[in-house]
Structure 1
Amino acid sequence: MKKITIKDIAIEARVSISTVSFVLNDKGEKMGISAAVIKKVQDIVEKLNYRPNMTATSLRTGKTRSIGLIIENISNQFFSVLAKGIEEEAGKLGYRVFYCSTDNDDDRAAELIQSLLQANVDGFIITPTENLEKSIGQLLKMKIPVVLIDRYFPDQEVSHVVMNNYEGAYIATELLIEKGRRNIAVINNNSGMIQMQSRENGYIDAMKKAGLYNGDLVLHINYHSTEEEKVEEVIRFFENNKSIDGVLFLANYMGLAGLQAFHRMGIKMPEDLSIISYDDHYSFRLHSPAITVVEQPINTIAVKAVDLLMKQITNENDAVVEKVLQKGKLVIRESV
């Protein structure tokens, strides 16, 4: 099958090759090309299913129309759905997405940034690891477009899109209190990342307001431990704190480990224990009883992250740092 070129488009549209080139590079209006001609060329491009030579385009424009997406763990449902949303939104704008996982490893995250820089991506959307601030700073010094998602560094001036994690945890804890629970535990990881700290702070403040806070009911699980190790740690924690009647898991993978632990322990929900987890998961909907969750606005985060990155890519000299805080949603099911 013959490869379609811009010359073929120009012949069918009865315009010059330069006109087609201007339209393909979004410079039609700037070059004084009429809206009717721009639409005609665009329609023919779609009709002929034209695909530009990315190497040639990169050499000519210095752009690859590609984005580097670095997330924590593509196997985690939250991040896989987020990555899919970013890929779809970028695709609408003609951008490819190269994505990879860090497993929350600082060295791996830094290496991935360098690899994607060598691939000459036009910008980055990153879920940063705990100590990635220096690498992010280097991108900013190089004036590489970058947007952080899910988490950020409070002292760094970089665009980011995150959920209001404090509010989500606060409201979830209030619900458990309203349901009559008094010995409410919180299960967090030990990463120290800002979003996890914010969630824990929301829980603490809600408990203190109700006069119920007990520091002994706070568990920090090693992020890098295996799933079985997480399950065993939850079991030990609950065996040592038999008064617990409610629990807030601050990430879905910890919630899933908790469900396994409670099954082994014979704990009934919500009779013995009320449960809420951050981040929805298909298993939470299938579980009996279905698990109440703090749901993040994943699609909204994905769309906004791409939007902020495109602003930086297209306005290289006038890029503005934007810090976006999205509102989550408490989805009440049967576990409370």
Structure 2
Amino acid sequence: MSKKITIKDIAKAANVSVTTVSFVLNDKGEKMGIRKEVIEKVLTISGEMKFKLNMIASSLRTGKTRSIGLIVEDISNQFFSDLARIIEREAINLNYRVFYCSTGGDDARAIELVNSLLQANVDGFIITPTENMKATIDRLSELQCPVVLVDRYFEEQEVSHVVLDNFEGGETATNYLLEKGFKKIAFISNYSQLIQMRFRKEGYSNAMKKAGLYDEAKILDLEYHIPEEERIEKIAVFLSSSSEIDAVLFGANYLLLAGLQSLSKLKLKIPTDKAVISFDDHDSFRLHSPSITVLSQPIEEMGKKAVRLLMMQMNDGSNYKIEKEKKKGNLIIRESVG
């Protein structure tokens, strides 16, 4: 078996200290004042040497830990907890264990989690990336560490991913409202560069433009990192300041959970005063009175496919062909549109 490349080997090849290499590989180079050219040199050499941090003694013999790192946005959000459950079930069936963790949409935490899981020597990653995580995903590719993205991806990046066809979903949900006779349809979303939100908004906008009813004032973009009370308040202000809105499409289930409280605060009835549809299902949406119409993601298919793509990548190594998969959503008609 070929000798494992260590931090010492990289330090020697780059003619820098072991500490410098350690800081660079843990994304702390800039913070520690290491010059840009030194950081680039260390990353290039570590990439060339196919270095992968390895700190678990039990895995040294085989280099395999039969474990997967699963990094999602928020494990308390039902979409991600359902997805994690399916990924874990599929992995267990293949005799793999899953370490899972949440980023809370925080870039620094996401990078830290990747480093921790690299140190735990996981065999591969399934990741829902944060907004500025592209460089970290690039680094995993350079380290030849198998990685599959789920729910979102970066357009210029050659990395396998499994996502919802968000544009089609936004269009489908909006067209359903238009067919039901609604004309003043609002869209509530996150203000972010995250690709899934952007495509949902573009799908909505496209349907509204085709109908000759597009109005930018009917789009509300919220910051992701705001307290729930503030989210409820901002949605309430938006809905009350534009009394002519007759229907609302919510870009994610947690946005609708806040929206339901905003509507209640304004004493507005669904669907009499406002019709609503949300992306991503939630148990409470079925139980809510009236029950909520949703554009649901095929979570079962997405979870299975993500694990299958990761296993193929781990088995095929450098022969692996990148796959980019878009799954079609399912409009589940309930009572909230009337």
* Aligned AA (1:266): K
Cα distance, 1:57 vs structure 2: 6.5
Which residue pairs with 1:59 in the alignment?
Answer: 60
Q: State the distance in 1 between where 2:318 and 2:178 align.
A: 51
- Match status 1:106 vs 2:107: yes
- Match status 1:195 vs 2:196: yes
Q: State the distance in 2 between where 1:311 and 1:246 align.
A: 44
SS class of match (2:317): coil
Q: State the distance in 2 between where 1:319 and 1:64 align.
A: 21
Give percent identity, aligned residues only: 58
Q: State the distance in 1 between where 2:194 and 2:251 align.
A: 12
Q: State the distance in 2 between where 1:190 and 1:100 align.
A: 24
User: Which ranges of 4 or more aligned residues in structure 1 deviate by more than 2 Å?
Assistant: 55-60
Question: Could you list the runs of 5+ residues in structure 1 that have no partner in the other structure?
Answer: 1-54
Which residue pairs with 2:258 in the alignment?
Answer: 257
CA offsets 1:186-209 (integer angstroms, 9 cap, x no match):
000112200000000000000000
CA offsets 1:295-325 (integer angstroms, 9 cap, x no match):
0000100000000000011111211110011
Which residue pairs with 2:294 in the alignment?
Answer: 293
Cα distance, 1:268 vs structure 2: 1.0
Cα distance, 1:56 vs structure 2: 7.9
SS class of match (2:188): strand
Q: State the distance in 1 between where 2:180 and 2:266 align.
A: 23
Aligned pairs, how many? 282
Q: State the distance in 1 between where 2:86 and 2:192 align.
A: 26
* Aligned AA (1:261): S
1:34-45 equivalences under 5 Å are none
Q: State the distance in 2 between where 1:107 and 1:85 align.
A: 27
Which residue pairs with 1:226 in the alignment?
Answer: 227
Cα distance, 1:59 vs structure 2: 2.7
Which residue pairs with 1:266 in the alignment?
Answer: 267
Q: State the distance in 2 between where 1:238 and 1:188 align.
A: 14
Q: Would you say the 8 A contact 1:57–1:63 is kept in 2?
A: no
* Aligned AA (1:281): H
SS class of match (2:243): coil
Q: State the distance in 2 between where 1:203 and 1:331 align.
A: 17
Q: State the distance in 1 between where 2:240 and 2:65 align.
A: 55
Which residue pairs with 1:328 in the alignment?
Answer: 329
SS class of match (1:173): helix
Which residue pairs with 1:276 in the alignment?
Answer: 277
Q: State the distance in 2 between where 1:57 and 1:94 align.
A: 17
SS class of match (1:334): coil
Q: State the distance in 2 between where 1:124 and 1:112 align.
A: 11
Root mean square deviation of aligned Cα: 0.9
* Aligned AA (2:327): Q
Cα distance, 1:283 vs structure 2: 1.0
Which residue pairs with 2:177 in the alignment?
Answer: 176
TM-score norm. by structure 1 comes to 0.83
Cα distance, 1:289 vs structure 2: 0.5
